[in-house]
Chains A and B, each alone.
Chain A
Amino acid sequence: MKRLILIALLLSGPAWAGEARPLADDPAAEARLKHLAVELRCLVCQNQTLADSNAPLAEDLRREVREMIAKDMSDKEIIDFLVARYGDFVLYRPPLKATTTLLWVGPFVLLMIGATALIMTLRRRAHQVVDVPVTDEEHRRVEQLLAEGGKRS
């Protein structure tokens, strides 16, 4: 939101247009930058995307991405450029490959183990629970207890 206001301010007041914003007047390129920047991680403040971060490095990287968009590079080329320098860590969605299989498959494996354990426990318990017939003596006692309880209240 702040950025939008800032852009609006920069556009409305040409007298103060301080820093050059090469692509501000090209909405398509700016939209591509936004689309890419939410997929990329800022390496300084690691839980922010490149779009959110105000860190100087994030600004530099946005500038770099803007320039690559201006050069008409594809999204894949731009992302490859950043991954080659910063590793998979710049991606908010890590790719599925040998080193990340545990990350992707792990939760499902745990879910399967949990589900199997649950089913096994339930089955075992089903065997353990046996019908215990209530004797006449016990029936009488229950009735007696209930009757006593009724009197008390």
Chain B
Amino acid sequence: MNRFLLPLSIFIVVVIFLGVGLKLNPREIPSPLVGKVAPDFSQPQLYDPAKVFSPADLKGKVWLLNFWASWCSGCRTEHPVLMELAKSGEVPIYGMDYKDQHDEAMTWLKRWGNPYPVVGVDDAGRVGINYGVYGVPETYVIDKQGVIRYKQIGPLDPDTVAKKILPLVKQLESQ
């Protein structure tokens, strides 16, 4: 009995490690930007390219910055969740149209609805690089001081919104 104990315990440890490894999503790379000031930008707005969208305009507010594109299928999946969240009025979602065609972006928002008060245009993907975006959709929660508090990689789902985003927004609002 004793001679099987050691191999068995090693086997169990290996199984636990592999099991945890299977549950991890290799696409979710922790962002070094969480806890840091959101990188500044001033990008033309989608609906009015003469106007500028900049995070400086939103100081003192808790807001979400959502990188999306009309060519991105995950954004389509996420879109109803954003519409619902925007309708609830809990937190404003600002959009960043990432490496997209202007007309296609406009058509997309017209067709599926526009949850954003303002949409910025990131034609060259430079804002994306500054935010460490590597796969749209990505969503950032930014607090009143302009600090990134959370980064969602991939589509938001109702569960994440209810369990992570909304409690965090409430906590940040009360600060």
Contacts and interface: CB of A to CB of B under 8 A. Distances in A.
Interface of A: 43-44, 46, 56-57, 60-61, 64, 83-87, 89
A103 to B, nearest CB: 14
B26 interface: yes
B160 interface: no
A44 B32 contact: no
Contact of B29 (A56, A64, A89): A89
A87 B129 contact: no
A57 B30 contact: no
Dominant secondary structure of chain B at its interface with chain A: loop
* A44, A60, A85, A86 — most chain B CB neighbours (10 Å): A85
A85 B29 contact: no
Report, nearest first, the 7 A-B pairs whose CB atoms are least far apart: A43-B134, A85-B132, A87-B32, A60-B125, A89-B29, A86-B132, A57-B134
B129 A43 contact: no
B129 A64 contact: yes
A60 B32 CA distance: 20
A43 B124 CA distance: 17
B131 interface: yes
A63 B39 CA distance: 19
Contacts of A43: 29, 134-135
12 contacts: A43-B134, A44-B134, A56-B99, A57-B128, A57-B135, A60-B128, A85-B32, A85-B131, A86-B31, A86-B32, A87-B29, A87-B30
A87 B31 contact: yes
Contact of A60 (B29, B129, B132): B129
B101 interface: no
Given A57-B125, A60-B124, A84 B32 contact: yes
